[in-house]
Amino acid sequence: MKFSYNWIREFVPGLDVDPQSLERLITMKTAECDGIEVAGELLNGAVLANVLEVEKIEGQKNVVAKVDAGPYGMKTVVCGASNCRAGIITAYVPLGKKVVSGIESDGMLAAADELGINNDHGGILELTADTVLPPVDHAIEIDNKSITHRPDLWGHHGMAREVAAITGHPLRDPADLSLLPPAGAPVQIEIEDLHLCPRYSALVFDNVTVQPSPLWLQARLTAAGLNTKNNIVDLSNYLMAELAQPTHAFDRAKLAGDTIWARPAREGESIVALNDETYSLSPANLVIADASGPIAIAGVIGGKDSAISAGTTSIVFESANFNAGSVRRTSSSLKLRTDASMRFEKAQDPVNTLRALARALELLPILSPGIRLVGGLADNCAELKTPPTISLDLDWLARKLGRVLDPAEVRRILEALQFKVSDNFEVSVPTWRATKDIAMAEDLVEEVGRMIGYSSIEPQPPMVPCAPSFDPPEREFLRGIRRHYAAQGFTEVSNYSFISEEEAKRFGFAPEDHVRVLNPIAEGQELMRTSLLPGIHRNLVENAKHFEDFRLFEVGREIHLNNGEKPIERPHVVAAIYSRHDDGRAALMELKRVSALHSGDAEIRPATAMPWEHPSRAAEVILQGQVAGRLFELHPNLIDTGRAALLYLDLAKIPTQLAVKYQPVRRFPTSSFDLSVICPAREYAATVDAAIRNFAGELAEAIEFVTDYQMPDSRKSLSFRIVLGAADRTLAGPEVTAVRERIIEGLRGLHYELTV
């Protein structure tokens, strides 16, 4: 939001702080400033000038103008504006001499946007002899996020109140409530729900002349970042920028009847707004209506059918207060955010409606000479709540701040901010700070602290015993899982916990089995995931566009429905190996090895494939006797650029710590031999491995799968290396031979053929 330096100075007489220093003070004591920009820099030195003669330049649109530039004397200026003609009074800027269209031009004749007065670049300014050019201004940019809790700071007078308190200068109030007439307006105000509209006030004026605003007002609005249109609309924007109170003017001749309602919209109602867009309304939207229907969306935007136009001669000038939550919901549902809605969303002070009308009564005769007030004030409001009184203990304040303050200094600060302070420091909160800002003694600590400057408080460590903190076991376990997979060459990915219905259906998951998000943060994130697979699948597809081989893993939570209770979150890990050219077998074997690192007794057991798994490459992972997850290859329908093997484990079923067993270094050598077992092509190597272990007995130190070979007759040969050894001796040749023969005979008894 932009604040005009000149406007603030108008409310703080005697302010002698330059714009740059003021920006620093505001940042340190009130709100963060983003910078300063000069508004109307060319106004510095600009003067009124009479155009005496105009001569066209052959073959060009530019003309040569002879002008009387007052204190600068007679000047020759080359001008390209279509309205440059003899006899008009305009603005001359002494920019020095330069050659334009082959002619020496001394200075320039300026358009309104070049002087920072408004955004019009249709031609040079056309002025009158008594016109006073506005001065150069400085726009101080305030970060909106730093004043979301301060509705009073969305207007210049509220910021001037802060500046007056910071600098110790007096504050001038622009609103004179004594100007307000008594009740008796020619229009009636009806409010159906005082919670949604706590106050609605209005005045009626006749003999209105709609015309351009004076230059000083246009320059003020432009410096504050607002557009200009005509004197009536500009006044509404001016009051909003000055008092943080949005107002609106209706063309009275375009209203049906003499009653204005603030009510929820009826089903099926719609409105054409000032932006020429048509909005369909619902009872969730508060509207301002006449007898024919909605004439404005309350707190957001006015209607086009009742808008001010060049022919307007009578207006209803309204100033209202609306429920902050209601305005925010309407603005969000209609996808329409305006300067007015941004202020109402911050919970404006209901007292401010009359202040805006009083200020309008003072300014309207200046902007529209001859305007006449019709009748008195229309004002309908809920019972105004008395702001709270807060007890402030000065000893407690000193402990909270870390600095002892003189009671007179505390009183001075609070009263400068226009709090009322009794002799025993019972503090009354002003209405403009009591909406959603000051409610407890801690809030007053902040007010005092920021005004004395936190840099004046000497930092001290807290005088409390402290001990080192430790991560919860679950967090440390998850970090260990991440370290475990990173050490195996996997790259971690992180996905949102939200998926789309399309992604759920792709894996055969029913959307109704998911927790549905009522306000998804983006399209395609309406369901909370019940599996990590959709996310890792997305990662695989995207990375496969750029890499031929890679490894990924994710540690995350599945979210499952729980019969109407709080959803259950289950931690899982999924690891994936992708290869564009490999047949996938090596990746499966690698993930089998990785799964064994979780538990020494890991077992891979063949299982029926899920819809997303390769029909013949799916297995269960058994850890410590229970099914802990699955090892599989992704179905070819889900990824067509290569092969992807996945290991998917339930972390709740993984031991948090492996039992470490230490064995002495072997003293005696081992003996080994190889066996090749011929079996059906679909036989699992694990089945043969288990049989060999059974027949080998206690002397078997290790049984290692070496390789397999596909035979021409649809059979295969599986090769194993059997390692034998004893802890107390070197095995003799007959012992090794006996074990070998026992294995061979046992396998033949199971109808296996062996290559020996």
DSSP 58-69: TTSS-EEEEEE-
What's the chain's average pLDDT? 93
Whole-angstrom distance, CA of residue 601 vs CA of residue 224 = 72
Ramachandran region, residue 397 (left: φ > 0; alpha: ψ -120 to 50; beta: rest): alpha
What's the pLDDT score for residue 658?
55
Whole-angstrom distance, CA of residue 62 vs CA of residue 592 = 82
- The tokens describing 169, both together, are 């200068």
Whole-angstrom distance, CA of residue 51 vs CA of residue 197 = 54
- The tokens describing 244, both together, are 């943080």
Same-domain status, 184 and 149: no
From the list 35, 41, 39, 11, the residue with the least C-alpha distance to 22 is 35
DSSP state of 111: B
* pLDDT tens by residue, 22-39: 999 999 999 999 999 999
What's the pLDDT score for residue 621?
93
What's the pLDDT score for residue 661?
67
From the list 93, 96, 114, 97, the residue with the least C-alpha distance to 40 is 114
Give the pLDDT mean for 201-212.
Answer: 97
Q: Over 60: is that where the pLDDT of 659 sits? A: no
What's the pLDDT score for residue 660?
60
Helix, strand, coil distribution of the chain in percent, nearest 5: 30, 30, 40
Q: Over 90: is that where the pLDDT of 101 sits? A: no
Q: Over 80: is that where the pLDDT of 662 sits? A: no
The one-letter amino acid code at 262 reads A
Whole-angstrom distance, CA of residue 250 vs CA of residue 262 = 14
Whole-angstrom distance, CA of residue 176 vs CA of residue 161 = 16
Is residue 124 assigned to a domain?
A: no
Is residue 662 assigned to a domain?
A: no
Positive or negative: CA dihedral 629, 631, 637, 643: positive
DSSP state of 124: B
Please say whether the beta carbons of 19 and 140 come within 8 A: yes
Same-domain status, 377 and 295: yes
Same-domain status, 59 and 8: no
3-state secondary structure of 696: helix
Q: Over 90: is that where the pLDDT of 577 sits? A: yes
Same-domain status, 314 and 288: yes
Same-domain status, 296 and 374: yes
The one-letter amino acid code at 643 reads R
DSSP 178-239: GGPPPB--SSEEEES-TTT-SEEEEEEEES----PPPHHHHHHHHHTT-----HHHHHHHHH
Place of tokens 């106004």: 43
3-state secondary structure of 666: coil
The answer for residues whose C-beta is within 8 angstroms of residue 319's C-beta and 6 or more apart is 201, 202, 239, 245, 246, 247, 352, 353, 354, 356, 357, 360
Q: Over 90: is that where the pLDDT of 47 sits? A: yes
CA 708 to chain centre: 57
DSSP state of 255: S
Nearest 5 degrees, angle CA 540-CA 544-CA 546? Answer: 135
Q: What is the CATH number of the domain that holds 75?
A: 2.40.50.140
Edge-to-edge order in the sheet of strand 247-251:
247-251, 315-321, 199-206, 372-381
Confidence of residue 250 (pLDDT cuts 50, 70, 90): very high
Please say whether the beta carbons of 699 and 730 come within 8 A: no
Is residue 612 assigned to a domain?
A: yes
Is residue 154 assigned to a domain?
A: yes
Give the pLDDT mean for 466-476.
Answer: 84
Q: What pTM did the predictor assign?
A: 0.67
Residue where a domain terminates, one of 653, 681, 714: 653
Same-domain status, 523 and 574: yes
Whole-angstrom distance, CA of residue 611 vs CA of residue 24 = 64
Is residue 468 assigned to a domain?
A: no
Q: What is the CATH number of the domain that holds 219?
A: 3.50.40.10
* pLDDT tens by residue, 290-346: 999 999 999 999 999 999 999 999 999 999 999 999 999 999 999 999 999 999 999
How far from 11 is each of 21, 78, 399, CA to CA, in Å? 18, 41, 36
Residue where a domain terminates, one of 118, 145, 167: 167
Q: What is the CATH number of the domain that holds 731?
A: 3.30.70.380
Q: Over 80: is that where the pLDDT of 601 sits? A: no
Compute the residue count for the chain: 756
Whole-angstrom distance, CA of residue 295 vs CA of residue 255 = 8
- The tokens describing 140, both together, are 């101080």
Whole-angstrom distance, CA of residue 263 vs CA of residue 287 = 6
Give the pLDDT mean for 447-465.
Answer: 88
Please say whether the beta carbons of 201 and 353 come within 8 A: yes
The answer for residues whose C-beta is within 8 angstroms of residue 585's C-beta and 6 or more apart is none
Same-domain status, 404 and 517: no
Q: Is 596 exposed, middle or buried (0-12, 13-18, 19+ CB in 10 A)?
A: middle
Same-domain status, 649 and 693: no
Confidence of residue 682 (pLDDT cuts 50, 70, 90): confident
Residue where a domain terminates, one of 354, 381, 408: 381
Give the pLDDT mean for 191-207.
Answer: 97
What pairs with residue 99 in β-bridges?
A: 104
Q: What is the CATH number of the domain that holds 529?
A: 3.30.930.10
Same-domain status, 229 and 268: yes
CA 70 to chain centre: 53
Please say whether the beta carbons of 51 and 63 come within 8 A: no
Whole-angstrom distance, CA of residue 564 vs CA of residue 74 = 86
**Phi–psi pair at 463, nearest 5 degrees:** -85, 65
Is residue 658 assigned to a domain?
A: no
- The tokens describing 568, both together, are 């259950």
Same-domain status, 690 and 648: no
Give the pLDDT mean for 662-669.
Answer: 83
Is residue 445 assigned to a domain?
A: yes
Same-domain status, 249 and 356: yes
Place of tokens 């199971």: 750
Confidence of residue 161 (pLDDT cuts 50, 70, 90): very high
Whole-angstrom distance, CA of residue 93 vs CA of residue 107 = 6
What pairs with residue 420 in β-bridges?
A: 428
Domain interval for residue 335: 177-381
DSSP 376-399: EEEEEEPPPPPPPEEE--HHHHHH
- The tokens describing 545, both together, are 């566009």
From the list 301, 302, 312, 310, the residue with the least C-alpha distance to 341 is 301
From the list 199, 202, 182, the residue with the least C-alpha distance to 383 is 199
Q: Over 80: is that where the pLDDT of 756 sits? A: no
Q: What is the 3-state secondary structure (H, E, C) of 560-601?
A: ECCCCCCCEEEEEEEEEEEECCCCCHHHHHHHHHHHHCCCCC
The one-letter amino acid code at 252 reads R
Strand 715-724 with 700-710, pairing: antiparallel
3-state secondary structure of 286: strand
Q: What is the CATH number of the domain that holds 141?
A: 3.30.56.10
Number of structural domains in the chain: 6
How far from 141 is each of 5, 615, 728, CA to CA, in Å? 10, 63, 85
Whole-angstrom distance, CA of residue 248 vs CA of residue 17 = 35
What pairs with residue 278 in β-bridges?
A: 272
- The tokens describing 754, both together, are 């062996």
From the list 473, 472, 474, 530, the residue with the least C-alpha distance to 499 is 530
Same-domain status, 237 and 303: yes
CA 632 to chain centre: 40
Q: What is the 3-state secondary structure (H, E, C) of 300-322?
A: CEEECCCCCCCCCCCEEEEEEEC
What's the pLDDT score for residue 624?
83
**722 vs 464, which has greater pLDDT?**
722
Is residue 291 assigned to a domain?
A: yes
- The tokens describing 660, both together, are 């470490």
Percent pLDDT > 90 in the chain is 83
**Phi–psi pair at 620, nearest 5 degrees:** -95, 150
